[in-house]
Amino acid sequence: MDMDHLIEAIKKLKQEKNALILGHYYQKGEIQEIADFVGDSLALAQWAAKTEADIIVMCGVHFMGETAKVLCPQKKVLVPDMAAGCSLADSCPADRFAEFVHAHPDHTVISYVNTTAAVKALTDVVVTSTNARQIVESFPQDEKIIFGPDRNLGGYINAMTGRHMLLWDGACHVHEQFSVEKIVELKKQYPQALVLAHPECKSVVLKLADVVGSTAALLKYAVAHPEHTYIVATEAGILHEMQKKCPDTLFLPAPPNDSTCGCNECSFMRLNTLEKLYDCLLNESPEITVDPEVAAKAVRPIQRMLEISAKLGL
């Protein structure tokens, strides 16, 4: 099937099956274009929670599909490629996280959404990069907190709030790769450029940043200030929406340490293709399943996040 027919066939199947296609900003451009909604991790969870569709197709990575399934156990949640995982979620196996939690019984457990449902089941409240700081700050200053699994996001929040949260030692392989030296070189070429960085980046990169925020926050900043040039230190998929919203703005992807590896692209996110999206709608497979006992525990901290976010107007 050529591209135009493929797109038409996906749209037709979507309508026939009353399906909703959700896409993360890190997806390939053609997937973002066909999605009903494109957003950051928080927005994807919010849309999943309120949709009336019978089927949700989550174009992102596995934990995003799991979060949707936990929120909507009666719905069919499909993913174009079951192998689309997450290095950050993988850096926090549930059995080891359980030991960490049990070793600190007087601590509140705050987990980043980039975790398996089994880790969420051990958690008091889930956060995304859009609401993490505000949710942490909603607890008293002296609250003892475990924050996992991203040591960079956790360290950033500790630095911003003066807290001493205990951090799990995990990281995202894409955000860990940005090179301070190469960003400084790029700044010499484009001295007026502002650096936009996701808080999953290392602290040395965040120190260079003019704006630190989630994908949605970085996009919002660029849209509000299209007159600048930007060096963008997050997964390069976000450039699609940035360029679409600000066609005359120059966006430069921040270079990774090894420029031959293309590692400012998440190989898991890129596994999703239009062909696989078509197949998954046609066959209603691969389908995300979550153990009902795990889901019953995992839903509470996700709902708590959605409730706090709604109160904060996020």
Report the nearest approach of ligand 13P to the CB of residue 266 (Å).
Answer: 7
Report the nearest approach of ligand 13P to the CB of residue 140 (Å).
Answer: 25
Report the nearest approach of ligand 13P to the CB of residue 200 (Å).
Answer: 6
Nearer to ligand 13P, 10 or 246 (CB): 246
Q: Which stretch binds ligand 13P (CB under 6 A): 128-136, 139-147, 180-188, 189-197?
A: 128-136
Is the omega angle on the peptide bond into residue 149 within 30 degrees of 0, that is, cis?
A: yes
Taking CB under 6 A as the rule, does residue 114 contact ligand 13P? yes
Nearer to ligand 13P, 26 or 278 (CB): 26
Report the nearest approach of ligand 13P to the CB of residue 288 (Å).
Answer: 16
Report the nearest approach of ligand 13P to the CB of residue 66 (Å).
Answer: 13
Nearer to ligand 13P, 13 or 235 (CB): 235
Taking CB under 6 A as the rule, does residue 111 contact ligand 13P? no
Q: How many residues does the chain have?
A: 314
Instruction: List Cβ neighbours of 127 (8 Å cut-off, separation of 6 or more).
Output: 110, 111, 112, 113, 135, 136, 305
Mask for 43-62, x = binds ligand 13P (CB under 6 A): --------------------
Taking CB under 6 A as the rule, does residue 131 contact ligand 13P? no
CB 299 within 8 A of CB 68: no
Taking CB under 6 A as the rule, does residue 41 contact ligand 13P? yes
Report the nearest approach of ligand 13P to the CB of residue 62 (Å).
Answer: 10
* Calpha distance 256→140 (Å, rounded): 38
Q: Encode the chain in three state secondary structure.
A: CCHHHHHHHHHHHHHHCCEEEEEECCCCHHHHHHCCEEECHHHHHHHHHHCCCCEEEEECCHHHHHHHHHHCCCCEEECCCCCCCCHHHHCCCHHHHHHHHHCCCCCEEEEECCCCHHHHCCCCEEECCCCHHHHHHCCCCCCCEEEECEHHHHHHHHHHHCCCCEECCECCCCHHHECHHHHHHHHHHCCCCEEEECCCCCHHHHCCCCEECCHHHHHHHHHHCCCCCEEEECCCCHHHHHHHHCCCCCEEECCECCCCCCCCCCCCHHHCCHHHHHHHHHHCCCECCCCHHHHHHHHHHHHHHHHHHHHHCC
Q: How many of the chain's residues bind ligand 13P (CB under 6 A)?
A: 9
Nearer to ligand 13P, 173 or 300 (CB): 173
Q: Which of 40, 66, 176, 241 binds ligand 13P (CB under 6 A)?
A: 40
Report the nearest approach of ligand 13P to the CB of residue 216 (Å).
Answer: 6
Q: Which stretch binds ligand 13P (CB under 6 A): 47-55, 125-133, 134-142, 255-263?
A: 125-133
Q: Which stretch binds ligand 13P (CB under 6 A): 74-82, 126-134, 243-251, 253-261?
A: 126-134
Taking CB under 6 A as the rule, does residue 215 contact ligand 13P? yes
Residues 181-210 that bind ligand 13P (CB under 6 A): 200
Contact positions toward ligand 13P, by CB under 6 A?
40-41, 114, 128-130, 200, 214-215
